[in-house]
Amino acid sequence: MTLNALNNLQAAQLVDPAQLDAYGLKKPAYRAKIATDDGSSFQLLVSQPDAKGPVYAKLNNKAQVFEIAESSLKAIFTNLENQLEQSEQQAVEQNKQQSS
């Protein structure tokens, strides 16, 4: 699901890349590290500085900054959080079974 959310990610608009601090992208609230088949990787940096305001995103290796839909933020990172929680729960259950 997370890969589908990344695949469907679309920018609403391009914004001024000189305002990284104002967009919260100097210290982003969210980061997704993406590894490619050739062994390289890059990071998607995302922040929503105001709870009701726009969401900003950029790739760490590119200058462009985009405004994206809040639903995109939730689709990517909520799915990741849910997947991590499920993985952690499975690990705890496996440890319990091994200990028994």
Percent of the chain with pLDDT over 90: 43
In b/e form, how buried is each residue of 32-53, taking b as 16+ CB within 10 angstroms? beeeeeeeeeeebbbbbeeeee
Phi and psi of 64, rounded to 5°?
-65, 145
Percent of the chain with pLDDT over 70: 69
pLDDT of residue 90 exceeding 70: no
pLDDT of residue 10 exceeding 90: no
Of residues 92 and 33, more confidence is placed in 33
